Amino acid sequence: MLGFRLERSPAPLWVRSLIPLIAVAITFLIVSVLILIAGAHPGEAFYELLINPLTRPTARAEILVKATPLLLTGVAVAFAFAGGYYNIGAEGQLYAGAVAAAWAGTQLHEQPALVAIPVMLVCGFAAGMLWALPPAILRIRLGVDEVVTTLLLNSVMLFFVSALLNGPWRDPISNWPQSPTIAASAQFPQLFARTRIHLGFLVAVLALLAFWWIFTRTRFGLELRAAGLGREAARFMGVRVGRVVLIAALISGGIAGLAGVSEVAGTHYHLIDALSPGYGYTAIIIATLGATTAPGVLMATLFLALVDIGILSASRQLNIPVYLGDIIQACLLLVALATLLLNRYSLRRSQP
């Protein structure tokens, strides 16, 4: 009789290199059912989701606008995950950076852009780091699990933002719960005419390149990967794991802070409480799909940004609720997580 058994050895390389495609295929199979329930044709829906945005120049530009905060938070989370530090707090760190940018941006009216923009970026990076610091310290000094502390600090930051916007920062002109508009010189310039792609995209690409360089070309990157693979073994190799994890956690918070700066200075020009529709959580999907490597993070970001823009046209043309986008992301995460097991296990035909 022919049977299959699970073996504790990696699947063949050609199978493993197909993992992302397998994950996407299974996800779309599941999602097809929901598209049918919504009364649309899956083929047409996938065309609107994945192809249509690529055919229109404005939609292509919007994909990159959407990819900007996703790439920054994705790099931030991947940096921490690579070192075995589960930073679930990118959402709060993003808002910390946004608060700093909204503050600095209104103090810099007299300054030229060449001063104002770097100051804002530094402030945002520092704020993100600061918000990432307590969980990192607690984890390294006292062994407190960082998942829960970073997650809870997200809620605390959202309350803080809400308190600011309903209190001292409420825009005196519009009286909306939004901060005053930042100085014109502090607003990110557009990179290309007639698109909304702004300087933040360049910042995101630089962050990605820095991540790639640190990860693959430096001693710190090597130590980070060692710490991520196994703390005890890394310690045995002479890596100062606590220090490496602390630095990774802080850089992670800082980069997430830059995502907040980029959204305030590049897109909205003021702080609002709906600044992020959960970029910090989507970043966890990106880091997982991208297997915490720079090329993987880039691919995952572009794909999720494509779906984010595509769902808008699918919703307009076919009346599919936009929340299908969230379901696709979540399915992709869970399916990818399961298919990544092929890196460790394989299904083999057992000998009769």
Read off the DSSP letter of residue 5: E
* 99 vs 121 by CB, closer to other proteins: 99
Span interacting with other proteins, options 45-53, 120-128, 146-154, 204-212, rule CB under 8 A: 146-154
If one asks whether residue 237 binds other proteins (CB under 8 A), the answer comes out as no
> Distance (Å, rounded) from C-alpha 314 to C-alpha 322?
8
Shortest gap between Cβ of 11 and other proteins (angstroms)?
Answer: 15
Burial of residue 33 (CB within 10 Å: 0-12, 13-18, 19+) is exposed
For residues 280 to 309, the per-residue mask of contacts with other proteins, x marking binding by CB under 8 A and - elsewhere, is -x--xx--x---------------------
If one asks whether residue 42 binds other proteins (CB under 8 A), the answer comes out as no
* 309 vs 333 by CB, closer to other proteins: 333
Q: Using the rule CB under 8 A, which residue among 338, 343, 347, 348 binds other proteins?
A: 338
Q: Using the rule CB under 8 A, which residue among 19, 24, 34, 224 binds other proteins?
A: 34
If one asks whether residue 153 binds other proteins (CB under 8 A), the answer comes out as yes
Report whether 93 contacts 82 (CB < 8 A): no
Q: How many CB atoms lie within 10 A of CB 167?
A: 9
Place of tokens 């720079």: 294
- Expressed in percent and rounded to 5, the helix, strand and coil fractions of the chain are 70, 5, 25
Token couple for 168:
């001292």
Q: Using the rule CB under 8 A, which residue among 122, 144, 202, 299 binds other proteins?
A: 144
Spatial CA neighbour of 107 closest among 188, 185, 203, 199: 185
If one asks whether residue 265 binds other proteins (CB under 8 A), the answer comes out as no
* 4 vs 213 by CB, closer to other proteins: 4
If one asks whether residue 317 binds other proteins (CB under 8 A), the answer comes out as no
> Distance (Å, rounded) from C-alpha 135 to C-alpha 87?
9
Burial of residue 318 (CB within 10 Å: 0-12, 13-18, 19+) is middle
Q: Which residues bind other proteins (CB under 8 A)?
A: 34, 37-38, 86, 88, 134, 138, 142-145, 147-149, 151-153, 155-156, 159-160, 162-163, 166-167, 281, 284-285, 288, 321-327, 329-331, 333-334, 337-338, 341
